[in-house]
Structure 1
Amino acid sequence: MTAPATFALALAAAAIGLLVGLALARARRPRAAGQGPTAAELLDRIVRSSNNGVLVLNRFGDLVLYNRRAEALGLVRLNQADARARKAAERAADGDEPSEIDLSPLAVRGRGPAAVLGEVRPLGDGFTVIEAVDHSEAVRLEATRRDFVANVSHELKTPVGAIALLAEAVLDAADDADEVRRFGEKILGESTRLGKLVTELIALSRLQGAEKPPDLTVVDVDTVVAEALGRTRLAAEAADIDITTDSAVDLTVEGDRTLLVTALSNLLDNALAYSQRGSPVSISRKLVDGHVEVAVTDRGIGIAEADQQRVFERFYRADKARSRATGGTGLGLAIVKHVAANHGGEVRLWSSPGVGSTFTLRIPAHQGARPPGQRDEHVVPATAQDSTGGGTS
């Protein structure tokens, strides 16, 4: 090699070294104020904030990267990947096609993840990424739908079957006027029950999953209480139960009056059905933290703590024998729950077996409502008032 060529090669090497040094120095230099994150940092943030569980494994099944969601879904414990994930990663590492794997927890606890589906994708060089999605809510909804269909079929079959049998009995006793009248009254009772069940099913289907009622009006709470009392007066008289109320108040809410009356009537019907003859039932209303609370209290059989979270489910009955005797459909409290939710409120329950129950319908007050100077005649055991603030928790 000639001297000029050697000199030129040395000069080029020096220039390349200088450029590399400048690049390294720039990479190590702290970013100036206001300069954005690098692409690598943004990708890291995306992975860590993803609502899906993400974990990256090397060819040995060791964790390289994972986010908190992966831990929440149970895919990572004590810095170790789930054994099913490691095996799937080993199979996928040498391929080029993604595969799916069931990563659902082997033991489901409470409301934790119940159905987790993962997709395994090779990244090359022995690395794989597993992205897991929680399908638990969809699985629960499907299970609820199946239970609902099964329950509806059963509940409809009972009165329909009874009406058919009673109709046969009427035909067999055509010459006996007394028997015809007796069976006719039973047919009327079963048909009334069937009509009530269908009506409540339609009402519940309209309420469930709906937004707030579209035609909101200013509703007077005293009017709702008066109409609900009117609907349940005959049932209360038949059960020899006196329903007491506190003084009228100047409170209003925004909502659908018919739905609110239906919800409160259902609470009263429930209190009457689960109370002994002659025992008291009371209604109270008050303004608490911008919400109107209408509470229905009874001195009935009460509800066990294990059943208190389920009494608002469709067709669920804490006392099935008593429900059959009173002719309930098992939909009343479910309707109350959805009416409250569609008005931006909730229904609360306090109960103690052998003492009684308090159901509180809690709806946001109409803007401008003022705290009334009311007399609270809410009949709740002293222990319940101490622990739940008047039985509304």
Structure 2
Amino acid sequence: MTVSEVLQGVVSTSPLGVVVVDGLRDVVVSNKRAVELNAVHDGLLDDRVWSAAQRTLSTGEDLEVDLPAPRGAAERRSGLAVQCHVRLLNADAPRLAVVYLADQSEQARMEASRRDFVANVSHELKTPVAAMGVLAEALLESTDDPDTVRRFGGKLYAESQRLANMVGELIELSRLQGAERLPDLVAVDVDSVVQEAISRHKVAADNADITIDTDPPSGFRVLGDQPLLVTAVANLISNAIAYSPNGSTVSISRCRRGDMVEIAVTDRGFGIALADQERVFERFFRVDKARSRATGGTGLGLAIVKHVAANHNGGIRLWSRPGTGSTFTLSIPFFSEGDAHDTDEQEAQ
């Protein structure tokens, strides 16, 4: 293999897009990755890349530019974002410029998600804080009226609880998304998870005259962390109670499907429109904002369920039909004795 063939192989297999262009805009060398990143179209250099290359060819200076997808293009809809670095191929003979292209789409999506998250948190925290300020002011003006003080005091307490719940769920969500190490997964009894999750919301169910119906104990065990699994199932039950009419039933069932154990929570609420079903696991998304806030919802419960499932190598899926109700199904890997043997070996190592 010649040196030329080796160099061509290096360029063609590079994870970066690579383009060499001359002063006449002729593409001398390019690789497949450059085409995938839309720097080269049918052998022609993209206008934005050529503009950057021209500046480097004229000044001799390295140049780094970000290339978001053109407005209205299909690439823009897919979120493609490219970082372009241009330098002279040889400073002593400034006739060729080499362009390196890196896919920054994931970083751009993460940054956009971070901005949205900060904006959402700011908005969501502002609502209870503002309400608490108004209620505190009303209390100060009603010190001589015990009934008014009790009424406003109760509302102030409810808003403070809502704020505390939101902060707690934000901390939990941050932990699940990798801010700190999660516990090691062990054998967990599914029936105890379901019972503990139900007990957390028995009072809320009784207050709404909602019956929580469960199938018989299954004896299943899963590979997981019990507190996290209880939180996930409890969030599903809380969500079902919040969106169910008074006097209805929330059903919980367990089954094994292949290597997974499924815990399904079904309500008889008003259901979720198809357009909203893909978004219900997003942070702060609410199908019915007024109803969610009225029941103390933070808009974070289902996002936490999604991340608990992911951290257990499981999944969460939704079936819903407007006017009928919804079923959320949490899937967690089944625990077998072989899993216990593998865990013992890892600890021994």
- TM-score normalized with structure 1 length: 0.78
Question: 1:38 Cα shift?
Answer: 4.0
CA contact (8 A) 1:75 1:103 kept: no
Paired amino acid for 2:188: V
Does residue 1:168 correspond to 2:137, yes or no? Answer: yes
Partner of 1:122: 88
Q: What secondary structure does 1:93 align onto?
A: helix
> Is the Cα contact below 8 Å between 2:320 and 2:326 reproduced in 1?
yes
Taking the aligned partners of 2:49 and 2:137, their CA distance within structure 1 comes to 63
On the 8 A contact 2:265/2:328 being kept in 1, the answer is yes
Which of 237, 240, 254 is residue 268 of structure 1 equivalent to? Answer: 237
Could you tell me how far apart the structure 1 residues matched to 2:245 and 2:233 are? 20
**Preserved contact between residue 302 and residue 353 of structure 1 (Cα < 8 Å):** yes
State the aligned residue count.
Answer: 334
Counterpart selection for 1:247 from 196, 207, 216? 216
Aligned-partner Cα distance in 1 for 2:52–2:142:
72
Change (3 A) 1:101 1:161: closer
Counterpart position of 2:157:
188
1:113-165: CA deviation from partner (whole Å, max 9, x where unpaired): 44212111222563322111122222222222222222222222222222222
Q: C-alpha distance in 1, partners of 2:309/2:280?
A: 15
Contact 1:211-1:342 at 8 Å conserved across structures: no
The answer to whether the aligner puts 1:54 opposite 2:18 as a matched pair is: yes
Show the counterpart of 2:344.
Answer: none
Instruction: Give the alignment of 1:53-92 within 5 angstroms.
Output: 53-92=17-56
CA drift of 1:333 comes to 0.8
5 Å-filtered alignment, 1:1-393, equals 37-93=1-57, 96-107=60-71, 109=74, 112-124=78-90, 126-209=95-178, 213-368=182-337
CA contact (8 A) 1:94 1:122 kept: no
1:188 to partner: Cα distance: 1.8
Change beyond 3 A, Cα 1:246–1:161: same
The 1:172–1:90 alpha-carbon spacing in structure 2 relative to 1, beyond 3 Å, is: closer
Distance change (3 Å), C-alpha of 1:301 and 1:71? farther
Instruction: State the Cα RMSD in Å.
Output: 2.3
Question: d(CA) in 2 for partners of 1:303 and 1:40?
Answer: 61
Alignment partner of 1:296: what SS? strand
Distance 1:92 1:278 in 2: 72
Contact map agreement 2:175 2:182 (CA 8 A) in 1: no
- Please, which runs of 5 or more residues in structure 2 have no aligned partner? 340-349
Per-residue deviation, residues 244-285 of structure 1 (Å, max 9, x unmatched) = 222211211122111100010001111111222233321122
SS of the residue aligned with 2:262?
strand
Partner in structure 2 of residue 383 of structure 1: none
Deviates more, 1:137-146 or 1:249-258: 137-146
Q: Name the CA shift for 1:261/1:127 in 2 (closer, same or farther; >3 Å).
A: same
Per the TM alignment, residue 95 of structure 1 is displaced from its structure 2 partner at its CA by: 5.2
- Alpha-carbon offset, residue 369 of structure 1: 8.5
* CA distance, structure 1, for counterparts of residue 150 and residue 180 of structure 2: 47
Offset of residue 187 of structure 1: 1.6
Quote the residue 2:345 is aligned against: none
Contact 2:79 2:109 in 1 (8 A): no
Q: CA deviation at 1:58?
A: 3.1
Distance 1:169 1:102, change over 3 A: closer
Q: Compare 224-233 and 122-131 and name the one that shifted more.
A: 122-131
CA positional deviation for 1:94: 5.5
- Deviation of 1:44 (Å): 2.4
* Conservation of the 8 A alpha-carbon contact between 1:212 and 1:343: no
Change (3 A) 1:354 1:78: farther
Identity %: 56
CA distance in 2, matches of 1:332, 1:192: 15
User: What do residues 316-352 of structure 1 show as CA deviations (whole Å, max 9, x unaligned)?
Assistant: 2122122122221111011111111111222122223
**How far does residue 210 in structure 1 lie from its aligned partner after superposition?**
5.3
Cα distance change, pair 303–155 in 1 and its aligned pair in 2 (3 A): same
TM-score of the two chains, using structure 2 as the length reference: 0.87
Deviation at 1:177, TM superposition (A): 2.0
Amino acid at match of 2:66: D
Q: Is the 8 A contact 1:292 1:362 kept in 2?
A: yes
CA contact (8 A) 2:242 2:295 kept: yes
| 1:290-309 CA distance string (max 9 Å, x none) | 11111112222222233222
Secondary structure of the equivalent of 2:244?
Answer: coil
How far is 1:167 from its partner? 2.2
The answer to whether the 8 A contact 2:222-2:333 is kept is yes
